[in-house]
Chain A
C-alpha cells in the first residue's frame, strides 16, 4: 500500500497528462484581444493618475504663486486623492463591476437555435467576468459538445495567428444574415483540428465568434453552426437571476456573476462575486438537494427550497466582518424561488 515511490508517481502523472483529451478550447486570438483590452485599461488608469497628479501639481503651483490662485493666504488645498511618496496619486488595484447597475449578469448574446442534443434552456449558461461575457451551450455530459458564443468589443476584428508554428487562415463562409462571415481554420496545427470557429460581423458592428468544441467521435455540420450563428441574438440582454441583494455596503461591487448548468447533469447554480477593499466573497444559490459547493468557509441557509450560501477562502475572510459575517451576507440575499419564470433582472436594489 505504501510503495508509491517518486519515480512511479512521476510515471503516473505523465500517463494521466497523456490521457485522451477533448479538443482544446482556448484561443490565442482571445488572449490577444483580451490582453489588449487590459493593457488599454491599465494605460487609461495610469493616464488618469498622471492627469490627477498634474492637476494637483498645477493647482498647488498656482496657489503658491503670489496672486495666482485667487486666494491671498497661499494655502494648499486638497485637490487630489491621497498621493504616494513621489507625490503622484497611486491608483489602487480595483476590480470593476460587471453588467449594469442593477443586473451584474448581462449576456453579449443568446442562442436562438441549437443542434439536437442541446436544450436552449436546460443546457445554456451565462458567465460574466472581468474580461469577457460568454454564453455557453454544453451537453450535460462529461466532455460533450460545447458551443461558446463570444461577442467582441466594438470595432476590432479579431486577428489571425500567422507564425511559423501556426498559420490561421480565413475560409469564406456564407454570409450570416447578409453580413461578412468566415471560418477560422489552421490546417497546419494538429491540436485545432476538430474545433470549428465561425466569425461574423453583426448588425451592431461588433464581431461575434462561435467556437464549437465537439466530442471526439462526433462533429457539428457547418450548416448547423451557420444556423446557430444566424439565429443567435447578438445584443446585450440582462439575464434573470434567482436572487437579489438589498443593503450591500457602500463600495461593494459585483465583479462576476453566472448562471450555469454543470456538465455533470446537476441542476443550475447561480452565483456572484462580491468585491470590497480588495477582497472577494462568493455567494450562490442552488436547488436544495444537498450538493455542497464553495470555498474553505461556507455558510448557507435554506429558503423556498433553495440553498443560499456565502463562501470565502481564508485569505479573503477578513472581509466577512465588514459585512457582518458570512451568515449576515446570506441575509442580504433574497430569493425569488426555484421557478425560473420568477427570476429577476433587478438583482441589485
Chain B
C-alpha cells in the first residue's frame, strides 16, 4: 500500500478528531461560531507543523495543546472576533450572573478569566491530571492547582446545584 501523503494523513486525522476539537473549543469560548474559528486556526497550525505533530507520542495531546494556546493567544490578539461574534458580551455575561444567579454553565464559564476557563475544561472535561493540564497550558503544576481552585470557587459561587433525582421526585 502506498505511503499516505502528508495531506492525506492530515485530513484523515482532522476528519476523525474535528468533532472532539470543536467541543473542546466550544467549552473554551462558549460560542459555536467562534469555536469553529478556533478549530480552523488550530488545524491550520497543525498542518504547518504536521511533520513534527505526526511524530508526537500523543497527537491528540499535541492538537489539544495547540487549541488551548490558540485560544489563549486570541485573548491578546484578534479581540474583535471574540467580542463581536459572540452572542453574549463578556461584560454583560457578568452582569447577567449577578442578576439571575444563573444556572447556565456557559455563562458561568464565560465569566471566568481565560486561563481559569482553560484549566477547568482540561481538568474536568478532558479529564487531564494536574501535570497533564500543566503541560497543555505550558505552566507549572502549582499554577494549575491555584487556577483550578480559583475557578471552582468562582463556579461554586455562581452556579446553583442541579436538582438531584431525589429532589425532582419529591418536588
Please give the residue numbers on chain A whose beta carbons come within 8 Å of chain B beta carbons, in ascending order.
1-4, 6, 8-10, 12-14, 16-18, 21-22, 24-28, 30-32, 34-36, 38-39, 42, 127, 129, 131, 142-143, 146, 159, 161-166, 189, 191, 256, 258, 260-264, 266, 269, 271, 273, 280, 282, 284, 291-295, 311, 313, 315-316
Contact = CB atoms under 8 A, between A and B. Distances in A.
A2 B120 CA distance: 17
B40 A31 contact: yes
Contacts of B46: 31
Interface of B: 4, 7-8, 10-12, 14-16, 18-19, 22-24, 26-27, 32-33, 36-37, 39-40, 43-48, 50, 75-81, 83-89, 91, 105-106, 120-121, 124-125, 127, 152, 155-156, 159-162
A316 B76 contact: yes
Contacts of A18: 23
Contacts of B155: 4, 9
Nearest to B26: A17
Contacts of B89: 264, 291-293
Contacts of A1: 156, 160-161
Contacts of A164: 12
B85 A262 contact: yes
Given A163-B11, A262-B85, A291-B89, A13 B124 contact: yes
A26 to B, nearest CB: 4
Nearest to B83: A293
20 contacts: A1-B161, A4-B156, A4-B159, A10-B127, A26-B18, A26-B43, A27-B40, A28-B10, A28-B11, A31-B47, A42-B48, A159-B7, A166-B12, A262-B85, A273-B77, A284-B80, A293-B79, A293-B80, A293-B89, A295-B76
B87 A32 contact: no
Contacts of A32: 7, 10-11, 47
A42 to B, nearest CB: 8
Given A131-B44, A161-B15, A280 B162 contact: no
Given A264-B87, A282-B80, A12 B47 contact: no
Nearest to B14: A28
A191 B7 contact: no
Contacts of A262: 84-85
A153 to B, nearest CB: 14
Nearest to A296: B75
Contact of A294 (B11, B18, B83): B83
Nearest to A167: B15
A8 B85 contact: no
A13 B105 contact: yes
Nearest to A165: B15
